[in-house]
Amino acid sequence: MSAPPPPMSLLAELTHRCPLQCPYCSNPLMLDPRTQELSTTEWQRVLDEAALMGVLQVHFSGGEPMARPDLPELVRHAAQAGLYSNLITSGVLIRQDTLRALADAGLDHIQLSFQDVDPASADRIANMAGAHAKKLEAARLITAEGLPLTLNFVIHRQNAERVPAMLELAEQLGARRVEIAHTQYYGWGLLNRDALLPDRAQIEATTEAVAAARTRLAGRMSIDFVTPDYYEDRPKPCMGGWGQRFLNITPTGKVLPCHAAETIPDITFPNVREAGLAAIWEDSPIFNLFRGTEWMPEPCQSCAFKEEDWGGCRCQALALAGKADAADPVCHKAPDHKQVTQAIAQRPQTPPPFRYRRFGNA
Ligand code: FES
């Protein structure tokens, strides 16, 4: 088999530590402890290897990546290696001096997450008093520093009606781009699905609000919109296809094709402490497991869209159908599609309390 083209993006999860406890966090239920995190020199070697194999962008993420005091050093190293760098942050640890250090190190872009526009609701979702006020201040500091800013709002049944106000806030804060992204349901999101899953009327209302804002803000601010695929007929091309465009490195150095891949049982994940990044990308069993189309079962194998959706999401297939190589149950042709329709039908009228993301709460 010929070597696959290099990935475009690397998600560097520097730490799982975070002051927030969002109930839809994309981190695994078993969080990595600080004592086992990769060191500065280990991350620097990974960044060099990534640039050498053709990766274009590094997204510094977490947890909260600003919990790592060596972040400016890593940003500088990425810039020197020729990588475009993006910081994915909650903003609650941003101060003027730390932001200036990142800008001086060559940071290209910041993606700042918000939980809501209503401060009480936002702080409740993040389970951190005062978080929303800190984020507003962070946005002000970022634009004053001249760094390009994207705002990310995670949408669910407990904040969906405030999407129009979220878009107004993004405009007021000077964001160039805003993401209105509905929660996806694996890991903590799956654990809290009944507390998060919107109904169809909420999806329609948010779709209309985004369409109206796109018209109003054309040429001034771009809007990305991600719907929950539970209400779609066809699966999403998760990660742009398994092992095709993206790789994820966990705080302890495991290399994954997606952020939820650790849910797949009986797999030994390769680690940058034991092997080179290019060799892992090209040859490791986990990256080749669902690469391309040969692994696909029916009805995916004979589907006209198999090279558009690449079989959907493997982690969702595992979560809902019990097998990572099953057809993604979101697809209306999948044998396990009823898992999705039942989750929607059995959604309780009143959302249950959140199970917050924190060490030991899974
Ligand atoms: Fe793992 Fe979609 S999240 S394949």
Please give the distance, rounded to the nearest whole angstrom, from the Cα atom of residue 263 to the centre of ligand 1: 10
Pocket flag, ligand 1, residue 261 (CB < 6 Å):
yes
- pLDDT (0 to 100) of residue 196: 98
For residue 82, being part of any structural domain is answered with: yes
- pLDDT (0 to 100) of residue 1: 60
For residue 46, being part of any structural domain is answered with: yes
CB under 8 Å to 92, separation ≥6 — which residues?
Answer: 19, 20, 64, 128, 131, 134, 135, 138
Pocket flag, ligand 1, residue 11 (CB < 6 Å):
no
The CA distance from 250 to 253, in Å, is: 5
Pocket flag, ligand 1, residue 315 (CB < 6 Å):
yes
**Measuring from atom 1 of ligand 1, which residue has the nearest CA?**
315
- Residue 258 annotated as binding site: no
Encode 176-190: b = buried (16+ Cβ within 10 Å), e = exposed: ebbbbbbbbbbbbbb
Domain containing 111: what range?
Answer: 9-231
Nearest atom (ligand 1) to Cα of 316 = 2
The CA distance from 169 to 154, in Å, is: 14
The CA distance from 230 to 232, in Å, is: 6
CB under 8 Å to 317, separation ≥6 — which residues?
Answer: 323, 324, 325, 326, 327, 328, 329, 336
Give 3-state DSSP helix, strand, coil % of the chain, rounded to 5. Answer: 40, 15, 50
- pLDDT (0 to 100) of residue 341: 96
For residue 63, being part of any structural domain is answered with: yes
Please give the distance, rounded to the nearest whole angstrom, from the Cα atom of residue 239 to the centre of ligand 1: 7
Backbone angles phi and psi of 85, in degrees to 5: -120, 135
For residue 50, being part of any structural domain is answered with: yes
| Contact by Cβ (8 Å): 159, 119 | no
For residue 148, being part of any structural domain is answered with: yes
How many structural domains does the chain have?
1
The string of pLDDT tens digits covering residues 129-188 is 999 999 999 999 999 999 999 999 999 999 999 999 999 999 999 999 999 999 999 889
The string of pLDDT tens digits covering residues 242-301 is 999 999 999 999 999 999 999 888 888 999 999 999 999 999 999 999 999 999 999 999
| Contact by Cβ (8 Å): 155, 125 | no
Hey, is 120 helix, strand or coil? helix
CA 34, 38, 40 angle in degrees (round to 5)? 110
Neighbours of 175 (CB within 10 A): 25
Write the CA distances from 57 to 40, 81, 157, 323, integer angstroms. Answer: 19, 11, 33, 32
pLDDT at 362 over 80: no
| Contact by Cβ (8 Å): 83, 59 | no
- Domain of 226, CATH number, reads 3.20.20.70
| 330-357 average pLDDT score | 96
For residue 359, being part of any structural domain is answered with: no
Pocket flag, ligand 1, residue 238 (CB < 6 Å):
yes
Pocket flag, ligand 1, residue 236 (CB < 6 Å):
no
Mean pLDDT of the chain: 95
The string of pLDDT tens digits covering residues 294-325 is 999 999 999 999 999 999 999 999 999 999 99
For residue 315, being part of any structural domain is answered with: no
CB under 8 Å to 96, separation ≥6 — which residues?
Answer: 141
Token representation of residue 348: 């309780």
Confidence of residue 228 (pLDDT cuts 50, 70, 90): confident
DSSP states of 189-205 as a string? HHHTHHHH---HHHHHH
**What is the pTM for the complete model shown?**
0.95
For residue 23, being part of any structural domain is answered with: yes
Please give the distance, rounded to the nearest whole angstrom, from the Cα atom of residue 314 to the centre of ligand 1: 5
Token representation of residue 318: 């595992």
Nearest atom (ligand 1) to Cα of 290 = 4
**Measuring from atom 2 of ligand 1, which residue has the nearest CA?**
313
- Residue 18 annotated as binding site: yes
The CA distance from 270 to 106, in Å, is: 30
Please give the distance, rounded to the nearest whole angstrom, from the Cα atom of residue 316 to the centre of ligand 1: 7
